[in-house]
Amino acid sequence: MTTIYHNPRCSKSREALALLQAQGLKPTVIEYLKTPPDVAELQGLLALLGLPARELLRSGEDEYQRLGLADPSLDEPALLAAMAAHPILLQRPIVVHGRRALIARPPELLLGWL
């Protein structure tokens, strides 16, 4: 089973979805801005990605600055809570395939990963 956490307004996310479909996959598409992942789901994604929460943050977003997320003293629960409340902060696209996950940026990373 393949899932993509997708933002249809993002060109990289659209490219990743098209790449998955070109590989014959029919991924479950989660538009995470409409259906944000909760903290538990984010923790599961991080476990599959093998990354700390900070690596899932988009530091260029206004919310990142406004919420003071550059503060290195913020712990994982605080970062996860911020991402759950403000899903625009999530790196995109995130693809889950079986028991693995990848931030498909650039989308071509999917080709060697699948």
- What size, in residues, is the chain? 114
Helix/strand/coil for 5: strand
Active site (annotated) includes residue 10: yes
Please pick, among 10, 33, 102, 109, the residue that the annotation labels catalytic. 10
Q: Is the dihedral of CA 10, 16, 21, 26 positive or negative?
A: negative
CA angle 50, 73, 48 (to 5 degrees): 10
Residue positions annotated with a catalytic role: 10
